[in-house]
Amino acid sequence: MHHHHHASPSVRSLDRAFVIGIAINIAFIAVEAVIGFWQSSMGLLADAGHNLGDVASLALSLIAIKLYQKAATKKFTYGFMKSTILASFINAVILLVAVGGIVVESINQLINPKPLEGLTVAAVAGIGVIVNGVTAYLFLDHKDKDLNVKGSFIHMAMDALVSLGVVVAGIVIHYTGWYIIDPIIGFVIAIVIVKFTWGLLSDSVRLSMDGVPEGIDIENVEKCILDTEGVESFHHLHIWALSTTDNALTVHVVLQDIKAMENVKFNLKESLKQCGINHATIEFELEECQCKDS
């Protein structure tokens, strides 16, 4: 039993990013809660509860990364690598549930508009823009390399957008008294969140169903196999994701000469790495001894 994953500098930097993001969000929640109780503001207390959900989301992604690094066991022979895919899916679902909450509240505000202290709301939301924006920035360099990290990035970036919308609404309300601007901005933000979250949801569902990962060109993989010297043909090709960063492949390869097996295996695995496949399991056969199973 062995495991291929270690705490690389990239993983350690991600650990720090999540810890810092969780810390500054907890600090912001504390400030919101204190001011909310002091001013008896249900709005601030509700937002503090929402931001507590952000902390839970970040913690979930961090736990998934920690599980990813754990060694394989006899019951989990691939380790816990797929926990990153599960975390991505949960983050996408959380975001879509949040959209539902925004839409419901916006409809309620349209039906029963409530007076707001525009500048107070804008000031607190402005802090939220900074906190959520800084947290999203921590994941910027890794968001295109790991779907799990992308989920956290989208979550925090969308929260920064929500806070920015509240800032705009607060300022407009203060100077015009147009309370209707608040639910209108809410609807716009909901549409933007759905647009950015749908891709995350579809990617995580596809990976959880062992679909071919985004970025893997299956035709290029097939060409890579056939172009390897000593390969006659192939069949039973399967490609799936072990995690949000690791892809696996199994394939039956028909050799021209069984004596070339070791060279073909080495060259083929090196070529597959260039295609984004870092875990390849290859079964070799001769033309006259091909398997009949599917």
pLDDT higher than threshold 80 for residue 162: no
Compute the average pLDDT of residues 256-280. Answer: 91
Determine how many CB atoms are found less than 10 A away from the CB of residue 205.
Answer: 14
209-264 pLDDT, tens digit each: 989 988 899 999 999 999 999 999 899 999 999 888 889 999 999 998 888 899 99
Which residues lie closer than 8 Å to 89 by C-beta, 6 or more apart? 201, 204, 205, 208
As a whole-number percent, the residues of the chain with pLDDT over 70 amount to 87
Contacts 24+ apart (CB under 8 A), 219-228: 220/275, 221/249, 221/272, 221/275, 221/277, 224/268, 224/271, 224/272, 224/274, 224/275, 225/251, 225/253, 225/268, 225/271, 225/272, 227/271, 228/264, 228/267, 228/268, 228/271
pTM of the model: 0.75
- Residue 143 CA to residue 149 CA, distance in Å, equals 5
Summarised one tens digit per residue, pLDDT across range 183-217 is: 787 788 788 778 878 888 888 899 889 899 888 99
- Picking from 246, 278, 248, 243, the residue whose alpha carbon sits closest to that of residue 67 is 243
Distance (Å, whole) CA 222 – CA 7: 32
* Least confident segment among 12-16, 22-26, 65-69, 204-208: 12-16
Order across the sheet with 279-286: list the strands.
231-241, 247-255, 279-286
Q: How far apart are the first and last CA of the chain?
A: 28
Mean pLDDT, the chain, rounded, equals 81
Residue type, 99: V
